[in-house]
Amino acid sequence: MKDRPAHNKRWPKPAIFWSLLVPGLGHIAVGYPARGIALSVLLTATYLGQIYFKTIYTTSGFFLLIVSYTAIYGYIIFDAWRLSSSEPQKEKRWFMRLDSLIAFGVLACLSSFYFDSLHFIPDEWRMPSSSMSDAILLNEHFLVDLTAYSPGEPDYGDVIAFLFPEDETKLFIKRIIAKPGDLVVIENKQVFVNGAPIDDSHARHGDTAFQARRDSMPAMTVAPDTYFVLGDNREESYDSRFFGTIPKNKILGRARIILWSDTLSRIGKTL
C-alpha cells in the first residue's frame, strides 16, 4: 500500500487575517507578493478614482463605490484563502516572515494616514444639531468635498462647511443664500436677494410666532469675498442673521452626500 503524497498546504486562517488587516498582505504572507500588490493597487485606485472624478458625490456613484470596493476586497480575501488552502506551500522567503509582514502592515497604515491627510480626500462630518434639517438631520454623517472651490466659487444653495467666525475651533454647516455684492433682506421670514424672493423650498419654519431679530433683517450688502449663509431650520439656526457674513478663506469645503443615517433610505442622499 502506497503512501499518499504530502501536499504541504498552509493553514488558511493566517492568510485571511493578514488580508483583513491590510488588503494584499495575505498574498504576501503565502508567497504571492506581486499578486497581492496588484490587487491592493486596484482596490486603492477604485477608491481614489471615484474621489478624483467626484462620482462619489452622486447617489449612483456612491453606491457603485460601495459595491465595487466590497467586491474587490472580498475577492482579495477569498483569493488569499484559496491560494493558502489549495496551492502547495512555497519556500519561505524574507517577505513572508512575521517581522516583515508587521513592517508592511505599519507602512500601509502610515500610507493610509498620509492619504487621509491630503486636501484631496473628503472629510467625514457628523451633524451636531438640527439647524440644517431637513437637508441634514441631527447625528447624520456626511462627506465634505474639500476641493469644491479650488478652483471655483461657492454658488447659491451650496451647503458649505466653514470655521465659525466667533470661535474658529468650531465648525459650522450652513447654506449659501447671497454672494459678494448681493443686497439681502429678510421680511417676516421671507428672504429677498437683490429685490427678488429666493426659492426657499429647502427652508423649514416650525415656529409660527414672530421674533424680530430672527424673522426680519434690515437690508445689507454682502461684502467682497464674503457670503451670507442661513440654516435650513430657520428657527433653530445660528447663522449670518446673527454673526454676519463668512469670508471665503474660512470656507473649508462643500457638504455633498449623506454617508450614514439612522433612516437608511437617506443614505446616499445628495446635498
The CATH number assigned to the domain holding 148 equals: 2.10.109.10
- Same domain as 58, residue 140: no
Tens digits of per-residue pLDDT, 202-250?
A: 999 877 665 666 789 999 999 999 999 999 999 999 999 999 999 999 9
- Same domain as 98, residue 84: yes
**Please, which residues bridge with residue 123 across strands?**
144
Q: What Å distances lie between residue 61 and 68, 188, 203, CA to CA? A: 10, 41, 27
What integer is the mean pLDDT of 179-189?
Answer: 96
Which of 195, 154, 155, 177 lies closest to 239 in space, CA to CA? 177
Last residue of a domain, one of 117, 135, 158: 117
Q: What Å distances lie between residue 25 and 10, 35, 103, 225, 238, CA to CA? A: 15, 10, 11, 49, 49
Residue 6 forms part of a structural domain:
no
Helices 98-117 and 13-21, axial angle in degrees (round to 10): 20
- Same domain as 262, residue 199: yes
- Residue 174 appears among annotated catalytic residues: yes
| pLDDT of 6 | 46
Which of 174, 179, 240, 261 is flagged as catalytic?
174
Last residue of a domain, one of 98, 117, 136: 117
Which of 19, 131, 237, 240 is flagged as catalytic?
131
With contact defined as beta carbons under 8 Å apart, do 64 and 46 qualify?
Answer: no
Q: What does the DSSP 8-state code read for residue 204? A: B
Residue 3 forms part of a structural domain:
no
Range of the domain at 239: 123-266
- Same domain as 132, residue 163: yes
Q: Detail the DSSP E strand segments found in the chain.
A: 123-126, 141-145, 159-163, 171-178, 183-187, 190-193, 196-197, 217-221, 226-230, 246-247, 251-260
- Same domain as 220, residue 141: yes
Query: What length is written for the chain?
Result: 271
- Same domain as 250, residue 159: yes
Q: Is the pTM of this model over 0.95?
A: no
- Same domain as 251, residue 130: yes
Confidence of residue 108 (pLDDT cuts 50, 70, 90): confident
- Residue 2 appears among annotated catalytic residues: no
d(CA 230, CA 160): 10
Residue 271 forms part of a structural domain:
no
**Average pLDDT of the chain, as a whole number:** 90
Residue 95 forms part of a structural domain:
yes
Residue 7 forms part of a structural domain:
no
**Residue 172's Cα: distance from chain center in Å?**
16
With contact defined as beta carbons under 8 Å apart, do 174 and 230 qualify?
Answer: yes
What integer is the mean pLDDT of 178-195?
Answer: 96
Residue 1 has pLDDT above 50, yes or no: no
Residue 5 forms part of a structural domain:
no
Residue 140 forms part of a structural domain:
yes
- Same domain as 254, residue 149: yes
- Same domain as 133, residue 236: yes
- Which residue carries 486603492 as its cell? 44
Confidence of residue 196 (pLDDT cuts 50, 70, 90): very high
Number of domains in the chain: 2
- Same domain as 71, residue 135: no
- Same domain as 133, residue 61: no
With residue 13 as reference, give the H or E element that holds it: helix 13-21
- Same domain as 160, residue 132: yes
d(CA 112, CA 125): 19
Helices 59-86 and 13-21, axial angle in degrees (round to 10): 150
Tens digits of per-residue pLDDT, 38-84?
A: 999 999 999 999 999 999 999 999 999 999 999 999 999 999 999 88
| pLDDT of 7 | 47
Residue 169 forms part of a structural domain:
yes
Last residue of a domain, one of 77, 100, 117: 117
Helices within 53-152 (DSSP H only): 59-86, 98-117
Residue 134 has pLDDT above 90, yes or no: yes
- Which residue carries 480626500 as its cell? 121
Q: What are phi and psi of 15, to 5 degrees?
A: -65, -40
Residues of the chain with pLDDT > 70, as a percent, come to 92
| pLDDT of 109 | 86
d(CA 142, CA 171): 14
Confidence of residue 5 (pLDDT cuts 50, 70, 90): very low
Residue 2 has pLDDT above 60, yes or no: no
| pLDDT of 146 | 95
d(CA 115, CA 119): 9
